[in-house]
Structures are given as structure tokens and as C-alpha cells.
Structure 1
Amino acid sequence: MLKHGLDPAERRAPGRVEASDLATRQGAQAQFLQVAAPKLDQLFGLVGHSGCAVLLTDAEGVVLDQRCAQGDAAIFQDWGLWQGADWSEASEGTNGIGTCLAEDRRVIIHRDEHFLARNTAMSCMDAPIYGADGRIIGALDVSSARSDQTEAFNRLIAAMVAQTARQIEADNFRAAHPRARILYADHDETEAAMLLAVDADDIVVGATRAARKAFNLGAIGPIRPIPASDIFGRDEGPSGFERAERAAVIRALARTSGNVSEAARALGIGRATLYRRMKRLGIGENLH
């Protein structure tokens, strides 16, 4: 890779940041790491038995956290699939983590698609994760060096990686707006998490990357406060978001056989809040 002055035949060990640098990076992303940890455990529970490692990086491609089987730990550490390793394209050339971050998209880098020869035994499946401000915050990676791992199996793992990345992004967004009401909607044209944060005054104060694009709220950074009604179009009937909110409430009530208290707990809101929402959405009140 001429851009970074790398030699594909070089056999140097993967680059690593200093322990103090890693600690600083982890400290700066403490909430992100806390939110992501259960999802990493869940994903590893699905793919770990097949000899895969699960890694979470920051936006620069430095591994902040990882999961692997104890018996494989020494091998993955030697390969650089470990905390502190630098998998940016500048350091490693084409690879799952670095290319995912550089191109801002999901990738599968299968074996000899890697730039450095020493990485060509690996298959890497990656998806970017976006922060509450719309900026890319890191990458989620599953890597394997099994010689019998097929491209079809890689695609299956890649789908799980993408789904988990969306879940982490959504949970991180909720954590960034702990006092806001979170509205979400399914969208036929995107698999990304589409969430809005609305404050007590019904002002939209936050939006995920997909919601920013859908409602033209600016790609990154703080959004301009806007009344929720301007987005939801309540004066013109229910919008896609309002319909999705109503559907989410109805689903929660159906799953709890109409028990409002249980439905509120499932939605992560208070009982009184759910009653107010039901009234606003025109959902029947003959429930307990």
C-alpha cells in the first residue's frame, strides 16, 4: 500500500499503543465500553465456539476490548487481536477493522484479501458503530484464522456483527440521553438504528445517524433543537415515527395481555408516562 509505505511481505509484529495510551482511550470511552460489554458477551456466545475472537475498537482502530476462548488467547494475542493493537489501515493496510473505519461501511476481508501477508490466514467481519453525535465511534470485529472457514459462513457471521453493532449503537444512544424519551421506527430502506431523543418539552434534542439523515438534522455534532411536532407532523396525521411508536406500544401491551405496568417496564418507561403516551396515540384505556 503505497499510501502508507507498507510492504506486504514484512513480518513485523502488529503495532500496539503504550499501556498508558490504551488506558486513556478506554477511560475516554468508558460509557461506550460499559454499554457494549453485554453485547460483546452475547456475540461471543454465538461465534466463540467456532474459534472466533470478538473485538471492539475506537474510531482510530485501536482495540479497546476483546473476547476469545481461554485456550486461544495466546494465539490471538500473537496475531495482534488483543487490547492495545493498532489495526488502522495506516498500520496494517487492508484489513477488516481498518478498512471498515476508513471506508465507513460493513466489510468482510477474507484471508488473502488482507494486504499484509502475515494476516492472510485470517477472515475478518466488521461493522462501524456511530456515536450519539453521528460520528463514527468504533468498529465491531469478529476474526477467525480457521483454514476451513468458508465465505458463506463469513457472510452469516457478518450479519450477526452488523446486528450487534446496531444494538450497541442504540444502547449507547439511550445512555447518552438518559432523561429523554426515546422514539424509534422501523424503516424499509435501512438497517441502521433510527432513534430520536425528545425532552420533557417535546423538543428533539438528539438523533442517531440514520435519523439525522432521514430528517435532515445534520450529519454530525449537536442538532438544532426542533419541536417534535415539526418532525412527526401531528397536525397532518400520524407520521412514520408516530405510527411506529403506536405500534411499539400496542406490541408491548399485547405481549403483557394488556397489563400497562408490565408493558411500561418492557418499554423502559414509567407507568404514568405510558398512559400519557397511550392517550396521545389514541390507544384504548380499558386496560389495567
Structure 2
Amino acid sequence: MATPVAEHVSRVEAAITNGLAARSPIAASWARSAQLHHLDPSSNPNEGRITAHELALARERLGPLLPMAAPHLDRLFQMVGGLGACIVLADAQGVAVDRRGSPSNDRAFEESGLWTGTVWSEADVGTNGIGTCLAEGRAVTIHRDQHFLARNIDLSCSSAPVHGPDGALAAVIDVSTARADLGDAVAGLIGNTVAEVARKVETDLFHQHFPRARVVVVPGLDRGQGALLAVDVDDLVIGATRAARQHLGLSGDLASAPKLLADLLGLEGHDSLERAEQAVLTRALVRSSGNISAAARALGLSRATLHRKLDRS
């Protein structure tokens, strides 16, 4: 009678051999694991764990992301900790730099490698929540025998990417559990929750990075997707989240090469000096609640000059 390990190895090898990679994202990841990274699903590779000094440097490289994510990870653990789950925050190299877990489960998770300092890239351990999320740049749930290595088939892992204010993939949030009674439906709910938390971290990072900018939600998209633009006082877009960049086709450093908000969103702009001046006058009147004298003072104009400009418009 075949062992669970042998059955898993046969299933993985058959999927790769039969060309399922073209039709299944999981099989495609298995193929990468075997053919690109030369991993064996039956192997038990040495646990990749970096030194304490290297871990400290990895945490430092994340900058404000680590403290910004901390309260969100705390709340996430309050929601899923009762399922026997642990939470891992990994950097863009797949290194676990922070985690949350119940002390009663810590030993089991440490033995599984779900611990700070361990490396979960696809190149190191094949198909898994963190590594496959990084490889594909999207939220994934790798449920039990969808893992590449047989040693990981008791785990169910849901991961979501966290992109920095520049749109680059900066980290991954992962929730993993070894509970055998965790069904596909519950795993899917956990995956949705992790993705939502990742977007909240992205949003907080974006607001912190552009403290003086006006943050605009890109219309026509679900607010939960986090498609945000940072706009300066001249209505120039100087920053955009990953979702906004994808939707609007933006790339590069927007702070150095900004875009007009009106052009990006198809809005009517103020392309003449006369119309731009009218917009300035209107804003001054609104801020002064229609008080001509107060608006004139705010603009550095005499009351008569402001009247003349308004009459001309």
C-alpha cells in the first residue's frame, strides 16, 4: 500500500509529465519547483534559516512597513488564532521576519519552519503560500496537498502580497494552520481576510508616505482594491498604489514624472489661465463662505480688484 508521501509524489510527477501546468496554476508552480528550482517533492531539504544578524538586517530593510503592519497582524491573529493558525510576515525574498502564534502551537510551527528567520521562497521549498504568492505576485491559498514538498501537505496556507507606495512588492502576509478539519470553504474565507488585511497595510503605508498629498480613490473600482492616487496642490499625481497603477497603466517614479489628475481620470481640466484663475477665485470664496473681503485678503488682492475679476469671469 502506497504511503501518503509516495501518493503525493506520484500525483505531482504525473501532473508535470502530463502537461497540466498550462491549465492549472498549482501544476504550473509544481513545474517551476521541479524544473526551474530542481526540487524533489519527496525530499526534506535542510531548513533555510538565516542568522540573527541577517534577520535584524531584513527587518530593518522593511523600514516603516514592519511597525505599520504590527497592529493589523495583531487583529488578524485575534480573528484566526482560534483555528490553530499562526501568522507570518515575510519579506520580498520569502524570509519570515515577524509572526504571531499561540504558545501551545509554537513548537509544532517551529518544526514546520513557520518561524522567524526561515526562508519560504519557491526556490527553497517549492509551492507554498508565501513563495508562490511572491512568484506570481497575487494572493494565493495553498491547501494541504497542493504544496510541492510532501513534508508540507499537512499545512493550509493563505498568503497575500503587500505592495509599497511605489507599487513594488514589498512583503507577504501569510496565515497557516495544520488543522485537518479545515475545509476548502474556511480556507477561502481566511484567504479573503488575509487579502483585505494586506490592502489595509498598503493603504496605511501610502498615506504615511504622502502626508501632504490629497489621496484620491480611483473611480469605477471596488474601494477594497485600494486603488489610490496621491495628488499635490497643482492637481498632479505624484504617487499611485499598485492597484491604481495597474488600472491606469502607470509606471515609474511619479514623483519625478507626475501626471495630470484630470488627464488620468478623464476629467475636465483648467487648460487656460482664465479658467485656472476662476478656479482659484471660486475656492477662495468657498473657504470664506462667500465673504468678499475675507477672500480678497486670503488672495492678497484688494476688494475692488477681486470684484473686477469676478465681474469679468
For the 8 Å contact 2:221–2:227, the answer to whether it is kept is no
Paired residues of 1:62 and 1:86 also in contact (CA < 8 A): yes
1:180 CA drift (Å): 1.6
Tell me what 1:74 maps to.
107
Superposed CA RMSD: 2.4
- 1:205 match: secondary structure: strand
Equivalent residues of 1:129, 1:138 under 8 A apart: yes
- The answer (yes or no) to whether the contact 2:62–2:170 under 8 Å persists in 1 is no
Residues 1:152 and 1:187: Cα distance change in structure 2 (over 3 Å): same
Candidates 167, 190, 200, aligned match of 2:200: 167
Q: Aligned residue for 1:227?
A: 260
Deviation of 1:49 after TM superposition, in Å, equals: 1.0
Asked if residue 144 in structure 1 is aligned to residue 157 in structure 2, the reply is no
What SS class does the counterpart of residue 250 from structure 2 fall into? coil
1:202 corresponds, among 217, 222, 235, to: 235
Match of 2:67 among 28, 34, 42: 34
Matches within 5 A, 1:13-28: 13-28=46-61
Q: Percent identity?
A: 45
Asked whether the 8 Å contact 1:88–1:99 carries over to 2, the reply is yes
Within 5 A, what are the aligned runs for 1:105-184?
105-184=138-217
* Kept after mapping to 1: 8 A contact 2:96/2:119: yes
**1:58 aligned residue:** 91
Bigger CA drift: 177-186 or 79-88? Answer: 177-186
**In 2: Cα distance, 1:48 partner to 1:186 partner:** 36
Contact 2:217 2:223 in 1 (8 A): no
Q: How does 1:198-277 map to 2 (within 5 A)?
A: 198-218=231-251, 220-222=252-254, 224-235=257-268
Using the alignment, how far apart are the partners of 1:45 and 1:232 within structure 2?
39
Residue from 85, 88, 93 that aligns with 2:126: 93
1: CA distance, partners of 2:186 / 2:52:
35
Instruction: Give 1:93's aligned amino acid.
Output: G
Which runs of 5 or more structure 2 residues have no equivalent in the other structure? 1-33, 271-282, 288-313
Relative to the length of structure 1, the TM-score reads 0.77
Larger Rg: 2
In the TM superposition, what is the alpha-carbon distance from 1:63 to its structure 2 partner? 0.8
TM-score between both structures, scaled by the size of structure 2: 0.72
Whether 1:104 aligns to 2:137 is: yes
Q: How many residues align?
A: 242
1:134-184 superposed Cα distances (whole Å, 9 cap, x missing partner): 111111110000111111110010110111111111111111112222122
Please give the per-residue CA displacement for 1:211-270, whole angstroms capped at 9, x wherever unaligned.
12223322x544521233333444279xxxxxxxxxxxxxxxxxxxxxxxxxxxxxxxxx
> For the residues of structure 1 that align with 2:180 and 2:248, how far apart are their CA atoms?
45
How far residue 189 of structure 1 moved from its aligned partner, in angstroms, is 6.2
User: How far apart are 1:111 and its partner, in Å?
Assistant: 0.7
